[in-house]
């Protein structure tokens, strides 16, 4: 038998009962398309969480003060509230820890901000010029804080785009205008580009000023609320994190690491944790979809068994005129493979379309990966062989005499 003959036989067998073939195929179509859609939603969620973490900065190690501990066992205060990090700590990190790209000091607080009668409560971040590099902030208008501003504690501020539009509702160009924070008057020198809201803080709703200015006029002390260190590459972030911990422990004279008065957070750790969460989520979705694929496969087997019984006489005739066991076996196996393969193709197309529609509707940004398509195809072919094998064997092993007599 030539390939052409086999295809001809398969086509005429599958089109003989179109409704049944269609319904059986539907099981596979739903199975395959749900695998593709679910995996694409999972991947989309993973990508969006990762990119929002990435947007905080690159290869970031964040050092924050620990909890305040009072001698004699008083109540422990919230983490980050302690005043343990100093500018000297930051400078020591900068000069003594290897593989540091850039470093930024933060003095953050929330303050009421007034501009021409409009007012807003927003986060004030006192920082250094390097903050823009460390936190991936770009300026759309004007300039960012400079080292000179920091050196002279200049009363200049840079606004996030949300803050700028909140304060200047009438559309006035913010750069060059003055705002009042905590009684002091500050000149706006720049507006940053929008980064989009990330999970942790909204970089668009913020006001940046030199940290020295924030220490003098707002916090009134010499402490830092955060040190942001950007490691020179992703590979060295762990080393940088460990070195910072060791350095600060020795500077603060702490021998027991569990009693450290600061904590460090590594951006890759956050990404890794988030990835593992979203992978689990993706696997869960794929497993649920996989079950529907399995049910579809059982549907194929059911149809093939029915077909073999219905066509018993035909099988007997084919054997009587010279078909071998292998001919009959192949015929039925190829029928079930064609059924799942066609279902697979339609399923991939449908799944892909659904993923695109989900993205277009803005529900979640989905990503169809080649691997999920290949996986779905592979699984559907395997299902065709697996669930077609038993019915085909049954057909091939029919005794031609019994098959011819079958009513």
Phi-psi bin for 2: left (phi > 0), alpha (psi -120 to 50), beta? beta
**Which of 34, 307 has the CB closer to another protein?**
307
**Which of 294, 317 has the CB closer to another protein?**
317
**Which of 7, 298 has the CB closer to another protein?**
7
Provide, rounded to whole angstroms, the least separation between the CB of residue 287 and another protein. Answer: 41
DSSP 131-196: HHHHTT--EEEE----HHHHHHT--EEEE-HHHHHHH-TT----TT-EEEETTEEEEEEEEEPP--
DSSP one-letter code for 217 = I
Both tokens assigned to 163? 């803050």
* Side-chain-side CA neighbours of residue 83 (13 Å): 8
Q: How far apart are CA 91 and CA 93, in angstroms?
A: 5
Instruction: State the maximum Cα–Cα separation within the chain, in Å, rounded to a whole number.
Output: 105
**Which of 4, 258 has the CB closer to another protein?**
4
**Which of 8, 259 has the CB closer to another protein?**
8
Provide, rounded to whole angstroms, the least separation between the CB of residue 19 and another protein. Answer: 15
Sign for the CA dihedral angle at 365, 369, 375, 378 comes to positive
**Which of 299, 316 has the CB closer to another protein?**
316
CB 340 within 8 A of CB 377: no
Provide, rounded to whole angstroms, the least separation between the CB of residue 1 and another protein. Answer: 6
Q: How far apart are CA 204 and CA 194, in angstroms?
A: 6
Provide, rounded to whole angstroms, the least separation between the CB of residue 400 and another protein. Answer: 5
**Which of 12, 258 has the CB closer to another protein?**
12
Query: Which residues, 6+ apart, have CB-to-CB distance to 30 below 8 Å?
Result: 292, 296, 347
Provide, rounded to whole angstroms, the least separation between the CB of residue 406 and another protein. Answer: 11
Provide, rounded to whole angstroms, the least separation between the CB of residue 397 and another protein. Answer: 10
Provide, rounded to whole angstroms, the least separation between the CB of residue 7 and another protein. Answer: 12
Residues that bind another protein (CB under 8 A): 1-2, 4-5, 12, 16, 313-314, 316-327, 400-401, 404
Provide, rounded to whole angstroms, the least separation between the CB of residue 18 and another protein. Answer: 12
Q: How far apart are CA 235 and CA 239, in angstroms?
A: 8
**Which of 273, 326 has the CB closer to another protein?**
326
Query: Which residues, 6+ apart, have CB-to-CB distance to 120 below 8 Å?
Result: 112, 113, 163, 166, 167
Q: How far apart are CA 10 and CA 324, in angstroms?
A: 17
Q: How far apart are CA 191 and CA 169, in angstroms?
A: 15
Provide, rounded to whole angstroms, the least separation between the CB of residue 17 and another protein. Answer: 10
**Which of 227, 323 has the CB closer to another protein?**
323
Reference 60, options 134, 138, 137; nearest CA is 134
């Amino acid at each position: 038998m030539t390939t052409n003959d086999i295809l001809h036989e398969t086509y005429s067998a599958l089109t003989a009962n179109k409704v049944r073939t269609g319904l059986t195929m539907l099981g596979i179509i739903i199975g395959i398309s749900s695998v593709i859609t679910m995996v694409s939603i999972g991947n989309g969620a993973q990508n969006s969480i990762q990119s929002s973490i990435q947007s905080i900065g690159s290869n970031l190690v964040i050092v924050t003060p620990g909890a305040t501990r009072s001698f004699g066992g008083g109540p422990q205060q919230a983490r980050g509230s302690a005043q343990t990090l100093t500018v000297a700590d930051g400078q020591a990190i900068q000069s003594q820890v290897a593989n540091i790209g850039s470093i930024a000091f933060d003095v953050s607080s929330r303050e009421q901000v007034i501009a021409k009668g409009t007012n807003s409560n927003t986060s004030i971040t006192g920082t250094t010029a390097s903050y823009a590099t460390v936190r991936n902030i770009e300026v759309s208008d004007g300039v960012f804080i400079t080292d000179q501003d920091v050196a002279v504690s200049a009363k200049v501020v840079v606004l996030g785009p949300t803050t700028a539009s909140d304060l200047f509702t009438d559309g006035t160009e913010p750069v060059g205008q003055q705002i009042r924070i905590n009684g002091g008057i500050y000149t706006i020198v720049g507006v940053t580009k929008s980064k989009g809201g990330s999970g942790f803080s909204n970089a668009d709703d913020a006001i940046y000023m030199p940290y020295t200015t924030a220490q003098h006029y707002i916090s009134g002390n010499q402490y830092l609320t955060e040190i942001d260190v950007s490691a020179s590459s992703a590979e060295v972030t762990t080393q940088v994190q460990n070195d910072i911990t060791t350095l600060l422990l020795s500077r603060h004279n702490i021998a027991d690491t569990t009693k450290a008065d600061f904590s460090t957070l590594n951006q890759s750790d956050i990404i890794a944790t988030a990835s593992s969460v979203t992978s689990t989520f993706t696997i869960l979705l794929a497993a649920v979809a996989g079950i529907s694929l399995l049910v579809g496969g059982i549907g194929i087997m059911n149809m093939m068994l029915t077909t073999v019984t219905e066509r018993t006489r035909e099988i007997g005739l084919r054997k009587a005129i010279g078909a071998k066991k292998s001919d009959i076996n192949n015929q039925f196996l190829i029928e079930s493979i064609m059924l799942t393969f066609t279902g697979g193709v339609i399923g991939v197309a449908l799944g892909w379309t659904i993923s695109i529609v989900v993205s277009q509707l803005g529900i979640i940004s989905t990503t169809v990966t080649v691997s999920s398509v290949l996986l779905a195809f592979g699984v559907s072919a395997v299902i065709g062989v697996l669930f077609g094998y038993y019915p085909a064997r049954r057909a091939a092993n029919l005794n031609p005499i019994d098959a011819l007599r079958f009513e």
